[in-house]
Amino acid sequence: MLTLDPSFMLIRHTADDAESVISDLADTLHTYGAVQADYGQETIEREKKHPTGLPTKPFAIAFPHAEAKGVVESSLAVATLSSPVSFLNMADPEEALEVEVVFLLANKEPEEQVQALRQLALIFSDSEKLVYLREIESPAIAAEWFRDQLLNLE
Amino acid sequence: MGKLIVVACGAGINTSTIAEDMIRERLDAEGLEDVTVKRILMADIDGYVGQMNLIVSMMKIYREFDVPQVKGMPFLIGTMDEKQALLDEIVELIRA
């Protein structure tokens, strides 16, 4: 089960680059107590080695994450961006993607991470859902929407 | 003799798990029980040369192998139709 607090939802967020989005998202989790202080930095390091941008339609997304150590409580933080930032394409790290929504995953158990990814893939592969998510205007509604999306599944 | 499909991804992110689930399900539906699906890290792919019959890769591969390779990204982000088309292609290639 992923913790989805409204404070993890950064709506129309402004950030200069991928690193600051990751760090802002990780800060929301850290403030809540869901991850340790270095989770953001760990994730930034991992993103450099194994980028997580995805060329989803109609706009690109990214799902940065780090290893399970440093995670106190499995959680998901999301930023919808007021203007896109560049992430590298997971499938082709030579290609930069202009990303509009960033999903920061924090999972305590590897098996749980697989499960979370299975659920998120149903959002990634559905353009109507991605557009709906991008247009959500309040953190409370965004958190509620994610609970619905992720709870409908096992 | 049974055939082997390897599903390769770059890191332990487990994106290949999603591809493996869908391929496994389709192979079962087709009655292709003698086909094995194995998740591997791209870095380990050389160890499967000579054993594998098809590569499904979640990442771009910059090399050619002596077996066909298909891109697995639609399993993660493709539409239903794209996923179906990819599964059709995989079944066709593994039956060949």
Mean predicted confidence (pLDDT) in B79-88: 96
Q: Which residue has the tokens 């409370």?
A: A140
Write down the mean pLDDT value for chain B. 93
Q: For strand A60-62 and strand A92-106, is the pairing parallel, antiparallel, or unpaired?
A: parallel
- What is the spatial distance between Cα B96 and Cα A151, in angstroms, rounded to a whole number? 41
Render pLDDT for A28-52 as a digit per residue (tens, 0 to 9).
Answer: 999 999 999 999 999 999 999 999 9
Asked whether the predicted pLDDT for residue A2 surpasses 50, the reply is yes
Asked whether the predicted pLDDT for residue B30 surpasses 70, the reply is yes
- pLDDT at position A152 is 54
Contact B6, B56 (CB under 8 A): yes
At B12, the pLDDT band (50, 70, 90 cuts) reads low
Q: With CB atoms and an 8 Å threshold, state whether A50 touches B18.
A: no
Residue B81 contacts A, CB cutoff 8 Å: no
Range name among A78-92, A139-153, B19-33 with the lowest pLDDT average: A139-153
- pLDDT at position A68 is 85
Task: Give, in order, the Cα–Cα distances in Å from A9 to each of A134, B13, B95.
Answer: 11, 23, 47
Percent of chain A beyond pLDDT 90?
A: 85
- What is the spatial distance between Cα A35 and Cα A21, in angstroms, rounded to a whole number? 16
Q: pLDDT higher for A127 or A2?
A: A127
Interface test with B, best of A45, A65, A114 (most B CBs within 10 A): A114
Render pLDDT for B57-74 as a digit per residue (tens, 0 to 9).
Answer: 998 888 999 999 999 999
Pick the closest to residue A44 from A28, A29, A66 (CA basis): A66
Task: Give, in order, the Cα–Cα distances in Å from A24 to each of A44, A70, A81.
Answer: 11, 16, 12
CA angle centred on A56, ends A104 and B20, rounded to 5° = 80
Contact A87, A62 (CB under 8 A): yes
Interface test with A, best of B57, B77, B81, B84 (most A CBs within 10 A): B77
- Interface size A-B, in CB pairs within 8 Å, comes to 50
- What is the spatial distance between Cα A93 and Cα A53, in angstroms, rounded to a whole number? 9
Residue A52 contacts B, CB cutoff 8 Å: yes
Q: With CB atoms and an 8 Å threshold, state whether A118 touches B17.
A: yes
pTM: 0.92
- pLDDT at position B60 is 87
Q: pLDDT higher for A118 or B11?
A: A118
Q: With CB atoms and an 8 Å threshold, state whether A117 touches B18.
A: yes
Residues 6 or more apart whose CB falls under 8 angstroms from that of A146 comprise A4, A9, A76, A78
Render pLDDT for B34-54 as a digit per residue (tens, 0 to 9).
Answer: 999 999 999 999 999 999 999
- pLDDT at position A154 is 43
Q: For strand A75-89 and strand A92-106, is the pairing parallel, antiparallel, or unpaired?
A: antiparallel
Q: With CB atoms and an 8 Å threshold, state whether A110 touches B12.
A: yes
